[in-house]
């Protein structure tokens, strides 16, 4: 079976629908044009590429902490979508329970957007996520993960790391942030999204400079803790991206069909709790 036809769960996509859900007036960056991806457009992409389920990640761009568009997309999806919301640091157990009831399975932390200082007092929310059996979804770049790694090691939270940890390719495999990522494999609670290559590659497609990092991640975490994602609709992309080449790149990285089945379907199904349909 072609990689394009194989059943998939895409573990990092965004929905943006400013016509139905206007952007926040105080949000600095407002996606437009081909950056916009409505729920209806997402379902068209899913149908074309064999994607059965998606994990929606709330974008800082456009909406910030207003999760209305994401929650509406989940509610209308008949179980095909789940979400990672942006959650206030002081959210209590009742607020997290209400989000879970609406299909949210975790909270997004994005120091690549906010910087590290913004998350200086985030530990209580991480503790509440652990208590609620919800995910910490963390997007870091460079050395930023080094600040969060001790918290993840100490607090028994399940964590998703976006986009291979966004290492700096020219800095090599020994760079501090990437080594912190690899050490988190020992917790048994951390999984990594093999995605977002355009966010850290210095060579562009077919991302030859990303391959050593993918190899190291798979060796440390195994495919039982690795997830595939597209990052559709490619917000703030510095160059044109399309969904098809990303599926093709996954097939180049994992030519064995059994390995792709684990990456595309078995592992995300188990970790994220989607139905088998």
pLDDT of residue 82: 98
Sign, CA torsion 116/241/162/134: positive
Tokens (6 digits) for 191: 């999984």
Does domain 8-272 correspond to CATH entry 3.20.20.60? no
Instruction: Find residue 226's DSSP bridge partners.
Output: 192
Classified as helix, coil or strand, 219 is helix
Whether the CB-CB separation of 17 and 236 falls below 8 Å is answered with: no
**Residue 57: which residues within 8 A CB-CB, separation 6 or more?**
12, 13, 14, 83, 84, 108, 137, 162
pTM over 0.95: yes
> Using CA atoms, how far apart are residues 111 and 99, in angstroms rounded to an integer?
22
- Residue segments in the chain with a per-residue pLDDT below the cut of 50: 277
Whether the CB-CB separation of 53 and 80 falls below 8 Å is answered with: yes
Angle at 193 between CA 248 and CA 17, to 5 degrees: 85
50: alpha, beta or left? (left if phi > 0; alpha if psi -120 to 50):
left
Classified as helix, coil or strand, 184 is helix
The DSSP element (H or E) to which 149 belongs, if any, is: helix 145-154
> Using CA atoms, how far apart are residues 81 and 274, in angstroms rounded to an integer?
8
Q: What is the DSSP string of 172-183?
A: -TT-HHHHHHHH
Instruction: Find residue 104's DSSP bridge partners.
Output: 83
> Using CA atoms, how far apart are residues 61 and 235, in angstroms rounded to an integer?
8
Count of other CB atoms within 10 angstroms of residue 199: 19
Whether the CB-CB separation of 74 and 43 falls below 8 Å is answered with: no
């Amino acid at each position: 079976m072609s990689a394009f036809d194989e059943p998939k769960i895409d573990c990092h996509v965004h929905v943006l629908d400013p016509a139905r859900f206007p952007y926040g007036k105080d949000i600095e960056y407002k996606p437009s044009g081909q950056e916009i991806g409505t729920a209806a457009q997402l379902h068209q992409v899913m149908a074309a590429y064999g994607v059965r389920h998606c994990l929606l990640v709330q974008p800082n761009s456009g909406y910030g902490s207003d999760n209305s568009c994401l929650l509406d997309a989940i509610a209308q999806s008949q179980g095909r979508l789940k979400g990672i919301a942006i959650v206030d640091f002081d959210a209590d157990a009742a607020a997290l329970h209400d989000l879970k009831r609406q299909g949210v399975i975790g909270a997004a932390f994005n120091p690549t957007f906010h910087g590290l200082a913004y998350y200086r007092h985030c530990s209580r929310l991480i503790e509440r996520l652990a208590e609620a059996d919800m995910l910490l979804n963390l997007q870091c770049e460079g050395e930023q993960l080094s600040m969060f790694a001790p918290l993840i090691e100490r607090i028994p939270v399940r964590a998703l790391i976006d986009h291979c940890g966004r290492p700096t390719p020219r800095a090599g495999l020994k760079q501090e942030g990437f080594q912190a990522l690899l050490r988190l494999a020992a917790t048994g609670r951390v999984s990594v999204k093999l995605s977002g290559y355009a966010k850290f590659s210095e060579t562009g497609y077919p991302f030859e400079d990303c391959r050593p990092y993918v190899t190291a991640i798979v060796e440390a975490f195994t495919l039982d803790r690795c997830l595939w994602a597209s990052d559709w609709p490619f917000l703030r992309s510095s160059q044109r991206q399309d969904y098809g080449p990303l599926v093709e790149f996954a097939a180049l990285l994992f030519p064995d069909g059994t390995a792709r089945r684990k990456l595309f379907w078995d592992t995300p199904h188990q970790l994220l709790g989607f139905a088998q349909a």
